[in-house]
Chains A and B, each alone.
Chain A
Amino acid sequence: MVDFSRVQKELQECNRDINVSGISVNPKSDNLTNLIGTIPGPTGTPYEGGTFKIDIDLPDGYPFEPPKMKFATKVWHPNISSQSGAICLDILKDQWSPALTLKTALLSIQALLSAPEPDDPQDAVVAQQYLKDYQTFASTARYWTESFAKTSSLGVEEKVQKLVEMGFPEALVRSTLEVVGGDENMALEKLCSG
């Protein structure tokens, strides 16, 4: 069984200093096993200015088993799969420790964004490019950040406006958008179906 009282405490703790760290964790639905975390792209990197969403799945053994995390936002990074969002990070695998929390794990992911490890890649194509042609890598990463990590956060108000105009209540629109990760078409589909 997942230790829900610990997860609750973690969420409170994490959202308390959200202004300092910029890292937030929120439940995706009613149960606390599916969560969504957001981290700001570290400054001085091609990911600067972007907001990255991370899908978090808590296994039954949490906190004695590592949480399953993957990027929901598309990212161009040697240690993150450009297709699936899978993250290659030791603390999410064999170096996990129960003293780590969702917040510290997200902080480690943020650190990974600023310090890629191309010698231990998750995405071989990106790693190759990083090693052979850093300039192209940096511009691709910046472009991906611009197109995937920013629109969802910048245009959120417009999307809410648009969906509200269609006749859905604003609170529901906001929560639905949050759940689907900011995709307006998916949100509309969900609103219509449910």
Chain B
Amino acid sequence: MSLPGNRTRVLCKFFAHGACLKGEHCEFSHDWKDPANNVCTFYQKGACAYGTRCRYDHVKVPQRQASASSSTYPYQYTLPESITSSSSPSSAIILPGVITELSATSRPYTSQTKSPWAEGSGQNDLIPDVITQSRTTNPADIAICSFAAAGNCPRGETCPHIHGDLCPTCRKQCLHPFRPDEREEHKIGCEKKHKHLEALKHSQEIECSVCLERVLSKATPAERKFGLLSECDHPFCISCIRNWRSSSPTSGMDVNSALRSCPICRKLSYFVIPSVIWYATKDEKQEIVDSYKARLRSIDCRHFDFGNGTCPFGTSCFYKHAYRDGRLEEVVLRHLGAEDGQTVIAKDIRLSDFLNRMRIR
């Protein structure tokens, strides 16, 4: 069992299910003798909606011990209510036998983990001790009741776990009374989610003026998006407005006054912003536009091609203009005095421009 090196010897989940694509290069163990990491990550964060029905182990894993992984067990299990006081690692209650009993199905080879003392003393005697111990430790280390956090705790008042405070937005008892950072994080995230859902609900009703269908009820998921016009507030689905703007102009049709203008109010807009939700206020629209532009600014421009090409949009391009070494394109504007005395910004001047104008006599 003892393997050389400090590698984490946790059984690979993919290997356990029959196939791991990484094969020999997998960072996890492909040896059935090694234990599987069957710890519920949600439980570690404080709340698992599945409660006792969760197929992963609801045990608390002390961070520090989890990293020291040269032993057979990469981490030491303690019971949920038992809290290892951070200053003295010796007080950690290691119950290999108990854990084996709890999750025997998840680990096929466990013969060596059954320690005789655990069997002899009997786990039932141990648990009350653990619980009494927890009363004296820092309440911030205790996870809140996951049933209450998910919406309803069947044990109600008699529940041995602490119930979180009610979140004003989601109306669930998921605010940990002793972890202020986590509370704030949840509140902010929850409010944001709530706002998004409200906006989404409101957006369900909005129809595209071209296909006359509800945008968010269209057939394919790719079509269920709005195409916002920068200059006016008329709703279209992204496919309709893009279709219209990219359709070839018929004879006599002016691109700016017909295709690039809003089909309803004919106000000229230079770009379309895709969005899953429809905004209610100007600020919300601005937010959508800004996040869209920020997203594009992180993508390298295909035309600029790290300085190898030229982008027809120049400085007004929404995409990133950066060289291979990460340097951004420097914008140098050349000011020229025009004939009427005004200053104009010169575009690229090529020698061919002059040569074309020359007449050979």
Contact = CB atoms under 8 A, between A and B. Distances in A.
Given A6-B212, A10-B212, A97 B250 contact: no
B212 A9 contact: yes
Contacts of B253: 94
* Contact residues on A (Cβ < 8 Å of other chain), bracket: 10 to 19
Nearest to B212: A9
A134 interface: no
B210 interface: yes
B243 A64 contact: yes
A97 B263 contact: yes
29 contacts: A5-B211, A5-B213, A6-B210, A6-B211, A6-B212, A9-B212, A10-B212, A13-B212, A61-B247, A63-B210, A63-B211, A64-B243, A64-B244, A64-B247, A93-B250, A94-B250, A94-B252, A94-B254, A94-B258, A95-B258, A96-B258, A97-B258, A97-B263, A97-B264, A98-B240, A98-B244, A99-B209, A99-B263, A99-B264
Interface in A78-104: 93-100
Nearest to A98: B210
Main secondary structure on A side of the interface with B: loop
B266 interface: yes
A88 B258 CA distance: 18
A65 interface: yes
Contacts of B244: 64, 98
A98 B258 CA distance: 10
Contacts of A96: 258
Interface of B: 209-213, 234, 240, 243-244, 247, 250-254, 258, 263-264, 266
Q: Which 6 A-B pairs have the closest CB atoms?
A: A99-B263, A97-B263, A94-B253, A94-B252, A98-B210, A99-B209
Contacts of A65: 247, 250
Interface in A40-96: 61, 63-65, 93-96
Nearest to B234: A99
A3 interface: yes
Contacts of A97: 258, 263-264, 266
Interface string A1-29: 00101100110010000000000000000
Given A61-B247, A93-B252, A94-B250, A99 B213 contact: no
Contacts of A6: 210-213
Contacts of B266: 97
A165 to B, nearest CB: 44
B236 to A, nearest CB: 8
